[in-house]
Structures are given as structure tokens and as C-alpha cells.
Structure 1
Amino acid sequence: MALLTSLLQPLRPPFRKLLARWVDLRLVEPDPHTLGLDPNKPTLYILSRTALSDSLLLEAFCARHDLPPPDARLHLGPHALKACVPLPRPGRRLWGRLPPAPAPFAALIDELKQHPDQDVQLVPVSVFWGRAPGKTFGFWKLLAADDWKLTGRMRRLLSVLINGKDVELHLGAPLSLRELSDGRSSELTSRKVSRLLRVHFRRVRTRVLGPDLSHRNILIEGVVASPVIQRTIEECATALGQSPQRMRRRAWRYGREIASNMSYPVLRFLAQLLHRLWNQLYAGVRVNGLERAKALAGDHTLVYVPCHRSHIDYLLLSYVLYREGLMPPHIAAGRNLNMPMVGPLLRRGGAFFMRRSFKDNRLYSAVFNEYLHRLLSRGHPVEYFIEGGRSRSGRMLTPRPGMLAMTLRSYLRGTHRELAFVPVYIGYEKVLESSSYLKELQGSVKKEESPFDLVRVLGQLRQPFGQVSVNVGEPLRLGEFLDGCIPSWRQAENDTRPPWLTRAVPALGRELSRRINAAASLNAVNLVALVLLATPHRAIEAELLKEQMVMLTDLQRLHPGGVHLSLPGGTPDEWLTAAHTLGFIERRDQALGELILANSQQATLLTWYRNNVLHLFALPALVAFAFRNNARLDRDTLYELLAPAWPLIDHELSVSLPGNFRQALDTTLESLVSLGLLRHENGIWRRPPSHEADSERLSLLGRLIQPSLERGYLLLAALLRYPSGSLTREELEEHSRQLAERLTLLSGLNAPEFFDRRLFSGLLDTLEEEGWLWREGSHLCFDKALAAAQLRGRVLFDPGLRHRLRQIARQ
């Protein structure tokens, strides 16, 4: 072997040049200049396997990026070692496994013990030629791509030839060999270093390739043959008076209806197709915070929970994960998407389909639960939308309990790895469904999906859609969450339906909603919508609009409404141009200066984009609204006014606050003072004089929260008109909805989202959780405290607005 190596040594330079010309690195992670290599320490590169192609590729890569050369030799004392070595693996022979070759670290460790001033930095390197079996269609592609199996020399040669344009190189953080030496013998320390490196390489492969995919039929067979499903089949057969064989065939049909058929060739095909589609549709796809998911992907089962604003959310997220070196997830999709042509393609891209409701079908529910459990227990990444469906209002919808409850029950059954939820916020400057959302915002009935929708999308490809942002929020480790929420949860081992589940699921949904919103993306259209819709007639001077947009971004820099918020780049002029190019506003030159206007349709559609990010400004807007009818307030009075209203706003908008409400209120007051929107002196806060520009800016900010406060006022006014125990929840929801609809008509607004019944349902949920309401039978009850709180809250509203709301409530 040594002779062969010496004979091939003169051929390495031409082979390296040839490989460098042929190979394109699709992904390098991380940026090599961020590794922080110490130029004064020798560098030893560790490859995950013995492969000439990997070492030659690494040599060409290091030469291109001015990194220490892997083909050099390290000289420590009498020892000379090549600067790039593979991690030894156990060998194989016909009658068993060979012991692994000794790791090359023992001699280095001995030398370091004799020279305390020296050190060696180890850099683990993983190279992936293709992402998994079957990178693209064809038998040779299937043979040549990387997978969990070790590749032989012939297969590696095929992989270099076929997958040379789809190579990923992952560099690990440098490790100090001296720090890893803990005083034990050199042999034991060498084994420890080898074990640490093997764990690192295994985590990287798990993150990139995911678990090995079982054949779909084998997976379905395992689901149907599981003890849980067999027991359910016997019970359903007895209850329905049918034979177990017939129920077993039905379980098989359910399994085929549900299960995905993820195909690596299709994933690769979709990656290329979507790459062209995004470049055609969008001016750019910005990705922020993905390193949080990458840090967990190696040893956690990931459940991605994005907000749901568009049908392309799941395509976009899978594309981003694939391009950034992570395994695309299995995606829970509604059965309505299992359409001809579309459904089979989505299924091969990782979608598994679920019925909208299956609580009355015990066998289907059991099959779906078992299928989800098998995905999670094997470590497959999963994705679903906790809102259930797309948000037609633009705001975060109340989480549905179904998938969250099934995930919790699966976790309680036991999984091999810890489970972590990854919240994802997807922000569009313009969604493909703008026209259908406009119709629905104007009151039209939701239209069912159809394969012909694809034709309509293709007709829009030449339209501008601006940018799209994919922001990853703070992951939530399920075990840690349950420790804080239900300290005794570990006592429910193997109990998949503990009594505390009904408390944990809503709490988990609310926390995930807050984490999604805390990673919001503020863009040009959001900013224009926030300012323009706060004006009485949807018209504003261009200069004032630009000043207000700057103020809103400055406010987020001082007091961000989300921990992982992203702000728009560019200037106010560029933001205004972007909104106009996308068709959301009209620009009209006038002798005294340019005006910005929105017609009725534009204003209605802008409400959707305003609601995307309204939660970011909820508390500053609430404080600003308090000064609409109050010229001066001290901290305690302001707290007493706003504290009762905050839980209602928090529930509607899923706001993430740093600390408690009082601390957040203090920070908000400081931010508003620093921006000149409030004056502070001797513990008293005052609004600016009405003739100053800051007064108008404060008023525009306060109007952002006015619709939410008006809804709450109408609901309480409708409830308090009757004695306690007079109304059912359904009656109050419908009566409040009618009052809100009347208010929009009398105000000349075309905004059906303002009187969405689900918003009033959420308000009632919060009032019950806070103890203001309770039920006796089916009727809602309250005491004098609620009337007193409403009376105190009236101070927030100026007399004119209060009179208008009171007149409508009396009707």
C-alpha cells in the first residue's frame, strides 16, 4: 500500500487540478474565514473516511482560500505526519470485523507532553458527493450518490463523475489536541479523540442526510402490524360487526392514503425546479437564523412549525433547508392538496396527507398517530402548520391542538432522541394568493383548491413579487418546556393521555406562536401598510410617510418586538418605490408635495400585510393610544389603565415580551421618550403639543392598536347590557360580530377581517383564562369587577370615539 501511494504521489498535482476544474462546491459550511484557525499552530485535517477524491478536493479548496495546506507535513519533534489523515474505521473480512487501525494521535500527544508550549489544532472535514441515493433520475445516479453506506472505490469514481456539480463540504470547529489531553495515557486519549470525532461525523451525516428512508410499503406494513393498530382493528371489528380482515384492509388503505413516498430523485428535481421558480418570482430569498436549527439537527428530532401565509410555504422551507445542507422534512398536508398531478409530486417530495377531521373515525386516527410516531421515533424531521390553515387575515391564528397533541403523545411513548420544535416565520412582500385573499377579505367565500390553480400561478410568473424572508426563531426543546410547564410530567411514562395533556397542548401552542412572531420580518410593504392604514382617509404626504417608516424601524431597534426580528435594508425612498412597483399604493404629484394614496382594494389588501407585523408594535401602540385622550400620565396610572387590556391583545396578536408587562412598559416609555414621541419630567409622561410634528407621529402610532381595542370594547358593551348568566358564548360571539360589522359599514370601511368571529372567540377565551368570565351550564357569568374594569378602560377612548362605540352597542 505504501509502495502504491509513493507511485501515485507524482500524479496528485494533475489529478488535483483536474478535480478542481470538474467539481463545483454547491455548499461550503461554515465560511472558511470564520473558523478562527491560529496561524501559529500546526493544523491537522481529519477526513471522515479514506478517499483520494476527498483529500484532493480539500487540497484544492484550501489553496483557493489561503488555508493551511493539507498536503504539507507536520513536524513535531522526530515525528513527521501528513497534515490530512482519515479517521480509521474498522475493517472487514469474510469471518468478521478487523480491529480499527491505531489512530494517529498517540504520537502527537506524546510529543505535546514533552513540549508544553506546542499544540495541534484538529479540523474535521465531511465531504458529500450528492445528498443521498438517487440524486437525479437514473440507475447510475442512484449508484453514485452519497448515502449512509460506505462507498467503494468504483462507486466513489462514479460519484465524482456524476455528482461533481453537487458537492457539499462541511468544516468542523477547530479542536485543540492539548485541551483534549486530560492527563491519561496517550493511547486512552487517542481513543477519546477518535470517539469524539466519530460522534461529530455521525451528527453531520444525520443533519445532512437524515435517517435512512424505508420503503413506503414496508413502513405501512409496520404501522398496520403494530400492537396498537392490531388492538384497534379487533375493537373496531367488534364494535362495527365486521370481520378483522376487512378492518385490516381498511387500515392498509388508510396507510396508503396517509404515507409519504419521499424520493431523493424527486427532491433533487424539485430543488432545481424551485431554484428557477424563486429566481423568477422573487428579487431574493433571505434566510436568517438557520444556524439555530443546524445546531440541533445532529442529535435532535426536529419538528418545523412555520406560520402559514401561502401555499408555497412548505415548498419554500423545504427548498431552503435542502440548499442550506439540512434534510428536508416530512410535511403534514391537508387531503385537499392531494389533487391529480399535484398530489403524487408532493407525496414524493415528502408530504403526507391528513383529513381535516378524523375524531369520529377511530381506526383512521390510530393509523395516523402510529405513522406520525414512527416518523418521529426514527428521527425524521417533520413539518406542520399549527394554525391548521392559511391565515386569511394576515395575523397568527390560534393554534389548533391536533398535531401538537399527537406529537406530545408520541414523545410520551418514547423516542430515541430529544425532540425540538423549530419556529419559522416566512414573510412575503407580496404573496401569490393576493387576488384570492383580496376577495376573501372583502367577504367572499373561501374557494376550494384545484389543479387549475397551477395554471393561474404560471400566468403570474412575470409579475413582481418583491423579496421573501425565511427567519428561524428560538427552538423549543420539548423536554425542557414540559419541565417548566408540567414538573411532574416524567411520572407519566408510557401514559399517552395523561390528565395534564389538555393544559400542556394550548400552552405549547401559545409559546410556539410567540416564538414564530418573535422572528418576524419587517419589510417595505409592511411599513407602508402600518402607516397608510393609520390615516383617516388612506392618504398621506410622502415625506410624512417616510418619516413615520423611519420612526417605526428606529423603534424596533430600540425596543424590538421580537428577539430574532429582521429589519429591511435600503432607504425610505426605496421602500416606497418597492410598494408602488408591487401595486399596493398610488403616487400622485401635487403642487405642495407628493401624496401617497390607496384605493379601496389596495387598502383592503394592505390590512393583510399590516396584520403580519402588527404584534411588533402592540405595546408601543397601546401606550401611544393611552395618550390620545390623556395629556399626562404617571407610571402607576398608566399601568392600571393598560394591564387589564394587555392579555386580550397578547392573545390576539401572540406578542413576545422581554420580562413581565411592567418591565416591558418601562422599556417602551424610555424608547418613546428617546424618539421624541413623549416628554418625561419628574415621573410624569406628557404627549407633545398638538401643533408639533411629534404629536401627529404619536397619534399615527396609537391608531395601530385601535381596531383591537374597539373590538374588545364592543364585546364587553354587548355582554354588560344583560345580567350575568343571560347569554351563551355563541350568542355573544354572533352579537359582537354583528356590532363590529355595523361599525365598519358606518365608518365607510371595507374590512371584513375586523369582524371575524374567531377574533371574538379568542377574546372570550382570554377573559375566561383571566377569571373575568366563567360558565354556569352553557351561559356566561361575571361579577361587578368586569363592569368596573370596563369603566376604568373607558378613559383610554376620547369622548367622540367612546360615544360612537356606545351608540352602536346600544343597537
Structure 2
Amino acid sequence: MAVKVQHMGELPTFDNRDEVLTFYVLQEYSRSNSLLIDLQTQEHHLPPALQPVKDAVHQIDENAAMIFLHHPKARDRQLSPRLSRLVSAVLQNPELTIQLVPVSILWGRAPEKEDSLFKLLMSDNWQDPSILKQLFNIGVMGRDTFVQFHTPRDLRELVNEHLIGGEDSAAASIVKDSSHALVPVADSNIALVSSLQLQLNTYLDKQRASMIGPDLSDRRNLVEKLIHSPAIAHAIQAEAEREGITVTEARAVAKGYANEMVNDYSYPVIRACERFLTWLWTQLYDGVDVHHFERVRELATDHEIIYVPSHRSHVDYLLLSYAIYKQGLSIPYIAAGDNLNVPVLGPFLRGAVAFFIRRSFRGNHLYSAVLREYMHTLITRSTPIEYFIEGGRSRSGRLLPPKMGLLSMTVHSQLRQMNKPVVFIPTYIGYERIMEGGTYIGELKGKPKESESLMGLLKVSRKIERIFGHVHLSFGTPLHIEDFMKKYDVKAGSLPAGRTDSPFDANMMTMIDNIGIKIMQNINKAAVINPVSLLSLVLLSSPKSALDEEVCRDQISLYQDIARQIPYADDTTVTDMTPQAIIEYGIKLKLIERTPHILGDIIQVAGKQAPLLSYFRNNILHVFILLSFIAALVARNGRIKRSRLDNIVTQLYPFLQSELFLHYPAHGLMAVLNQKIDNLIAHGLIVDLGDDVLGAPEANTSSYQKLEVLAAPVEQSLERYFLTLALLAQQGSGNLTAEEAVDLCHLLGQRLSVLYADDIPDFFDRALFISFINALIRLDYLTPDSETGVLHFDQRIDDIAHHAKYVLNPDMMQILQQVASLDEDDIAHAITEISNKKQRKFGRKR
């Protein structure tokens, strides 16, 4: 067959009542388009496109259910004859219902290049298709054809919007007769039909632009335009004065920077990637599941889309772009580290719309200016962009603190010039196995980081014979920059259009920080609780990472029930697999194993898989952390006053919120706690003893065992907190800088993990100690000296540490105190060794 059609997006919901007439709206008339839509309506069991539409009561007699906005037989200022007749019928018959279904057809998805005749022939563009073009499309691009049916619109509603809204002069030509039907006066409905046709045509233009992206400029021309823009001209002049060189020399440097970063879109490369990745995903995964994408499609036509996904794996770049492309939107331009700009791989990725950024360019004003202007060019051309706000891949499974560089450049561009309002799309990426799992564990334990290089990707590619389960892409609640601008009273056009170096004021800086945090929170809100993450959470919370199979099923079922009854967020998705199916699935992936036993089979983590499973547990830890905290307080104390529980959780919540990007606001925390406590009482895991006292179930009952398992996940976070607090209290105020405190805590955490915590890598993650120290500083528990940087604190540090006895068992508290008790010689030796290690690492990088 010459034509192979791919349907994009989800089929809309049609009104299938017999009295409703359906017509499909296309921009261009051609026999090939007509036949194509007719075949698609048959395939998807939709109202037929090429069959006559007759309604004798309303005097409708059309030989096909298709409206062409650009029709060769059009008269009356190029109006569609069929649309004109249908508008007249609706105006004269108040009971008549006609639904219009806009349809997009793409013969190929290559954006038009300004200087390429071949691209002009191959790609869909904005010109009327000639017979020669249609023959060329069928012959060359027929197997690369895409169709999308858009949301149906009621023609009467469209007419009334134009008439009642007074948007055109047609309203003056309409009156109501005695039956209250809208009728045309003296056949003068030309303005009305013209306005409707313009609206439909604009709608389909926007849809097409969202599918194939903006027109392309030749890379060489784009570099030249970039370098000669007013903003870069100013930056070049400033660089020449700063470095004592000529403007010509400074311009050459800027051009070199531009050539480093600017991409070179290649449709053949995109098509090759699409075919290869379709094969690759079928080899690697049981499925790629996409959640909540329709919200992105709704925004794509009128907004500048910025995808901000979590960063879990090398595969993220490819997977997200592939999914977006297959869902029918244009592929985003991806910010990639310049370590990927190597021979063979670099040009290929550049053709697949990657643009390269140096890992570090602090203090390089000209490079920063060129990058800002390139970002501004992409944004003002309505190019979708993708960047990983965490900066690098997470090694622990938790989200990393956001890096504000590209985010601030995005905001800077919007405040200079707003063509379309920016909307951020937080995106959760969840795997059930990751290729780099072993590497991540090694890096957390101190092995040198493996760079994202060609060799690294080749090593990964050797694993394609393995099965990695499902992968989930969940598109979170969009964040509109205009909402933040209103919140922080930041005006559009606040920054000069022709400058890249205009500074942000305090409001703008606060706004950017808030956007960054909200992005991370919305990524976590879009979490997918998949079978592997549930198994990891359950088994790693159990003694020796093993449970009786029946108990394991019950615990999985409990977590599923809780996650559904009190959802973490509306965007959070919970697997619908049964607990038994989840266990069998984990065995299939070789992550867990079943040990037969006469008293009941035992489910346990497979050999050496515990550190890796902690990664997947951490993907969803935020969903259950408050429940775990409540369970820990009740389980460790046997009974506890509700007021004391509230006080402890309230004081420690900001640290958990900072570490896990929890979205519950502090002022509403009590309502959240009450809801979760009531849910645990309903499940029998907590007993309401009256008089404001909560108690644990009787020991050795299944309810008590479930409570113990639920209590475990929060413990490692709290152990890290109290380890840090013990170290600070033992060393005293004014003796350690923030960096020294983090380094020492990191060393102590490694030692604690090896000796007492089954080598689980959470204690190896330096970022977690940084997060806690920063939270203590932000909340004014710690105050860095402005000159020396040493940390000062008061009795409140001990007050927080006092809560440890309500959560941790006495043995663990003693261990933490022993580990944190370093004398001056230990401190001096450790700081010296850490400093030497950092210098060696820095030397290798240089």
C-alpha cells in the first residue's frame, strides 16, 4: 500500500445520536485527502466521511460529510460553499444539530526550511497543495502520513459565539423570527461565514504548527543572525572592553560559542531515530505508558511549551522526545551537556534537535550572553524546549535540588519579550529497572562518576537483550509563568528587549526560586506508583528484606488502598495490578525471589538487589512519608498524645518537605495529618484510645506487623537528620562551616551504612546532607558567619534532636551518638583527606 497512516493523539468523543449530523473540516481540498479521511473514519468506526448526508426535514442534501476551507469551487470571497449552506441551515432551524470535527493531515512532519526546495516538496507547509505536490506526497511521503481528529464543535455554538459576542458585522444582518430562530436578512451572512471560516482555519494552522514545529532557519544563517542581534552586539562590545581585544576578535569568540551550541534539525535523522527507538523500546520494555498527555496537547497551540522532566537515566532524552513525537506534537529542542558533543554522536544528536551547553561557564560573560540569546531566539520562535532542571541524573531515586540556570534564562526571555506565554510541563519519568543501577550505587559509594559519553552509551546498548519492565511518563499539572508574575507583581516587558545582561530584582529572584520548587513538587505529584516501587517499599521495610508471601500481599494491598483512598495528588497514578500479580511480576524481573516453605512461601529481595531496589523505593517515598512518620511515632512509643505527635511532625516537616519536595503547605498540615491519622485508624493500624491519645495495636497481631513495616521508610531520613544534629551539637557552635559539616556527615553516613544499615546507599548520598544543612540555614536554626562561613546555632538544635527519642529506638540513638563523636584530631584528619580528594578530582577534570 502506498499510504500508511498513523493516527495521532486520542480519538475525541463524538455525539453519535442519529439526529446529529457530523461534518469533517479540512483546510485543503484534494482527492487524496478525501480518500484518506474516509478510510480513517471506517477504521475507527466514525461517521463516514464520503457518504451523502441527507436530512429532508431541514433541506440538507450534501454528497459528502467533508468541508474544505480552501476549495477550488469557492465563490463569495473564497468562502466554502458547504460551510455557507450549513450555516444557513442552522440559522433557519433552531432544532438542527451539526457537529464539526476539525481534522489535521500531515504528509510528513518536517518543518519547512527557508532555503530548501527539496524540503518544500517533502514537508507539509502552509501553501495550497498542487496535484504535483499531492502525487509527490503519496509517492514519497505516503508511508509517513499522520492524521488527527480534533475535538468536535457544535456549529450552532460557534455561530452564537460570533453573533452574541458582536465580533463581526454579521450580527447586524440577523434577526429573530416568531419561532425565535436566527435567520439571515437579505442573504447577508457572508461576514458570518467568513469569520467562522477564519476561526476554523486559524485553529487548524495552530494545530499543525504544534505538530511540526516552527519553520527552520539554516544553521549557518541562524548563527549569523544570533551574532549580529542587538543583544549580542552589546555583549561583544562589553567583552572587547573587558578583555582588551578588538570587537572583531570578540565577535569571532562569540561565533565560536554559537557554533558550539546551536542545533541542526534534520528530518531524516528524526525519522531514523523514530524507527530505531520503536524497535529499541520493544526490545527493552514491556510497554511505554503515557499519562495525562492530553493536557499538554491542549496548551501546545497557544503557549511556549517548556518540558522539565525528572532525570533518572541516559534513556530519558530519547524516551521523552520519542513519546512526545508519537503523541503528535513537535519534538522539543533538548539542552544537552557538551560532553555528548563528540565525533559521530555529537552531529547525530545535533540533528535530533539537541543543543549543547558547557557544564560550567561561571564568569564567562560572553558565553552566557550567547546562550541566553539562543534560548531567547528559540522561545520567541515558539520552539518547544526540554531541559532537566536537576542538572544531572539522580543517583538515589529522589529528586535533586533544582538548578536555576536555564530556568532563569527562560524567565529572562519572557520578561524581555512575550510572543506566547511560557508554560512549564513538569514530567515524572518512572522505570521498573534502569540500566545504570549498578553504576549509581558505585558512584554513591565513592567511585568516580561515569561521564555521559559515547562509550557510556555503547556500554548501555550492550544490555538490550534484557527486559526492563514498563516505563512510565506522567505529565504533571502545568505551571503558567503568568500566574507567578501576578503572584510576585512582575510586569511583562520588565527587562529591555535588546539586552541579555539585565539583572533581576528581588521579586524576580524570589519568583524564579518559587517556580523551581513548584516544578519539583509537581513532578512528584505526577508520580506513578508502579509494581516495582511498591515491592521495594514493602520488602525493604521488612527485617532482612523478606516477608511471608501472604503478609507481603496484605502489605501491598494496604499501600494500594491508602494511595487510592487519600491520593497524594490528583495526578498520582497507582498500579491496578493485584498484589499477587505484582509479586509474580517482581519475580519475572528477577528483582525478588520466592523461597518455598512448608509453613508458607517467603518472598525476599533477590541477591544483591537491595541497594538497587532502594532507588525505586525512593521514587515514591514522598507519597507515603507522612504516613510512615505517624506510624513510627505510634509504633515506637506504644501510645502517644495526639498533640505531641502534631508538635513533632510540625517541627520536622520542613526538613522532609525540603528533601522530598512535598507539596502540602505548612499552614494546612494539620488537616492533612488528621486525614491520614483517621485513615490509619480506619485500617486498624492505629487505635484511638480516647482523651487525645493514639495507641498501637496489640503486639504480634497482623495489624501491628503492618504498622511496623509502614513505620520503617521514614527512619533513614530521621537517622540522617539526627546524625547531623548530633555532630553539630558535639562539635559546638562556631566550629564548622556548612561544607565541612556536609563532608563530615557524608563520611559518617558511609560508615554507618556499612556497619549498621545493610549497605543501603541513602547514607552515601551527599545531596541529602546538603539539603538538610540548607534547610537548617533557611529556617534560621543555623547562621553562617559572613566572613568565615562557620555555622553558629543555639539551644534549638538540641531541642530538635530531643525528638529523636520519640522516633528512634535506643540502640540506634546510641550508635548515632558514637559515630558522631569525633575528636579534634579526627576532624582535622578527615577535613584534610576530603580536601586532598577534591583537589585530585578537580585536577582530573581540568
Q: State the TM-score, normalized to the length of structure 2.
A: 0.88
Counterparts of 1:711 and 1:79 in 2: how far apart (Å)?
75
1:760 and 2:769 matched: yes
Once the two structures are TM-superposed, the CA of residue 403 in structure 1 deviates from its matched residue by 0.9
Once the two structures are TM-superposed, the CA of residue 133 in structure 1 deviates from its matched residue by 5.4
1:151 and 2:129 matched: yes
1:264 and 2:261 matched: no
Once the two structures are TM-superposed, the CA of residue 587 in structure 1 deviates from its matched residue by 3.0
Counterpart of 2:300 in structure 1 is: 297
Counterparts of 2:625 and 2:128 in 1: how far apart (Å)?
55
- Cα pair distance change 1:793/1:61, threshold 3 Å: same
Query: In the TM superposition, what are the counterparts of 1:14-53 in structure 2 within 5 Å?
Result: 22-31=2-11, 34-53=13-32
Query: In the TM superposition, what are the counterparts of 1:366-405 in structure 2 within 5 Å?
Result: 366-405=369-408
1:212 and 2:190 matched: no
Kept in 1: contact 2:418–2:492 (CA 8 A): no
1:729 and 2:729 matched: no
Once the two structures are TM-superposed, the CA of residue 225 in structure 1 deviates from its matched residue by 0.4
Kept in 2: contact 1:209–1:326 (CA 8 A): yes
Counterpart of 2:552 in structure 1 is: 545
Counterpart of 2:255 in structure 1 is: 252
- Cα pair distance change 1:101/1:395, threshold 3 Å: same
**Which sections of structure 1, spanning at least 5 residues, go unmatched?**
1-20
- Cα pair distance change 1:144/1:615, threshold 3 Å: same
Kept in 1: contact 2:427–2:523 (CA 8 A): yes
Once the two structures are TM-superposed, the CA of residue 204 in structure 1 deviates from its matched residue by 0.9
Kept in 2: contact 1:744–1:750 (CA 8 A): yes
Matching residue within 589, 593, 599 for 2:596: 589
Letter in structure 2 aligned against 1:84: A
Once the two structures are TM-superposed, the CA of residue 797 in structure 1 deviates from its matched residue by 2.7
Counterparts of 2:399 and 2:574 in 1: how far apart (Å)?
19
1:771 and 2:751 matched: no
**Which sections of structure 2, spanning at least 5 residues, go unmatched?**
164-170, 174-188, 497-501, 823-846
Corresponding residue SS for 2:20: coil
Counterparts of 1:776 and 1:453 in 2: how far apart (Å)?
43
1:121 and 2:99 matched: yes
In the comparison of the two structures, how many residue pairs are matched?
A: 783
Kept in 2: contact 1:518–1:562 (CA 8 A): yes
Matching residue within 310, 327, 330 for 1:327: 330
Counterpart of 1:410 in structure 2 is: 413
- Calculate percent identity across the aligned residue pairs: 34
Q: Which moved more, 1:463-472 or 1:543-552?
A: 543-552
Letter in structure 2 aligned against 1:147: N
Once the two structures are TM-superposed, the CA of residue 483 in structure 1 deviates from its matched residue by 1.9
- Cα pair distance change 1:74/1:249, threshold 3 Å: farther
1:318-346 deviations in Å (ceiling 9; x for gaps):
11111110101000000111122211111
- Cα pair distance change 1:733/1:29, threshold 3 Å: closer
1:800 and 2:811 matched: yes
Once the two structures are TM-superposed, the CA of residue 360 in structure 1 deviates from its matched residue by 1.8
- Cα pair distance change 1:590/1:88, threshold 3 Å: closer
Counterpart of 1:508 in structure 2 is: 515
Counterpart of 1:665 in structure 2 is: 673
- Cα pair distance change 1:64/1:458, threshold 3 Å: closer
Once the two structures are TM-superposed, the CA of residue 29 in structure 1 deviates from its matched residue by 3.8
1:740 and 2:742 matched: no
Corresponding residue SS for 1:445: coil
Query: In the TM superposition, what are the counterparts of 1:361-760 in structure 2 within 5 Å?
Result: 361-484=364-487, 486-490=488-492, 492-494=494-496, 497-598=504-605, 601-657=608-664, 660-680=668-688, 682=690, 683-747=692-756, 749-760=758-769
Counterpart of 2:34 in structure 1 is: 55
Counterparts of 1:243 and 1:493 in 2: how far apart (Å)?
28
Counterparts of 1:779 and 1:199 in 2: how far apart (Å)?
61
Letter in structure 2 aligned against 1:477: H
Once the two structures are TM-superposed, the CA of residue 526 in structure 1 deviates from its matched residue by 1.2
1:88 and 2:69 matched: yes
Matching residue within 160, 163, 167 for 2:138: 160
1:191-211 deviations in Å (ceiling 9; x for gaps):
332232122202211211111
Once the two structures are TM-superposed, the CA of residue 448 in structure 1 deviates from its matched residue by 2.6
Counterparts of 1:397 and 1:749 in 2: how far apart (Å)?
24
Once the two structures are TM-superposed, the CA of residue 134 in structure 1 deviates from its matched residue by 9.0
Counterpart of 1:356 in structure 2 is: 359
Kept in 2: contact 1:87–1:194 (CA 8 A): no
Kept in 2: contact 1:412–1:493 (CA 8 A): yes
Once the two structures are TM-superposed, the CA of residue 673 in structure 1 deviates from its matched residue by 2.1
Counterparts of 1:731 and 1:518 in 2: how far apart (Å)?
34
- Cα pair distance change 1:581/1:125, threshold 3 Å: same
1:276-325 deviations in Å (ceiling 9; x for gaps):
00001111111111111111001111010111111110100111111110
Kept in 2: contact 1:442–1:750 (CA 8 A): no
Matching residue within 85, 89, 93 for 1:111: 89
Kept in 2: contact 1:621–1:702 (CA 8 A): yes
Kept in 2: contact 1:37–1:174 (CA 8 A): no
- Cα pair distance change 1:714/1:330, threshold 3 Å: same
Once the two structures are TM-superposed, the CA of residue 589 in structure 1 deviates from its matched residue by 2.2
Letter in structure 2 aligned against 1:168: F
Once the two structures are TM-superposed, the CA of residue 647 in structure 1 deviates from its matched residue by 0.8
Corresponding residue SS for 1:628: helix
Matching residue within 318, 338, 341 for 1:338: 341
Q: Which moved more, 1:495-504 or 1:648-657?
A: 495-504
Corresponding residue SS for 2:728: helix
Letter in structure 1 aligned against 2:615: W
Once the two structures are TM-superposed, the CA of residue 493 in structure 1 deviates from its matched residue by 4.4
1:342-378 deviations in Å (ceiling 9; x for gaps):
1111110010000011122111111111111100111
Kept in 2: contact 1:55–1:84 (CA 8 A): no
1:788 and 2:799 matched: yes
Once the two structures are TM-superposed, the CA of residue 456 in structure 1 deviates from its matched residue by 2.5
Letter in structure 1 aligned against 2:686: L
1:132 and 2:113 matched: no
Letter in structure 2 aligned against 1:785: R
Counterpart of 1:282 in structure 2 is: 285
Kept in 2: contact 1:443–1:752 (CA 8 A): no
Matching residue within 171, 180, 192 for 2:158: 180
Counterpart of 2:53 in structure 1 is: 73
Counterpart of 1:5 in structure 2 is: none
1:405-434 deviations in Å (ceiling 9; x for gaps):
111111111121011111111111111212
Corresponding residue SS for 2:449: coil
CA RMSD of aligned residues (A): 2.6
Once the two structures are TM-superposed, the CA of residue 243 in structure 1 deviates from its matched residue by 1.9
Letter in structure 1 aligned against 2:540: L
Counterparts of 1:152 and 1:290 in 2: how far apart (Å)?
35
Kept in 2: contact 1:141–1:162 (CA 8 A): no
Counterparts of 1:42 and 1:530 in 2: how far apart (Å)?
53
Kept in 2: contact 1:641–1:796 (CA 8 A): no
Counterparts of 1:298 and 1:742 in 2: how far apart (Å)?
54
Counterparts of 2:777 and 2:293 in 1: how far apart (Å)?
38
Counterparts of 1:69 and 1:590 in 2: how far apart (Å)?
61
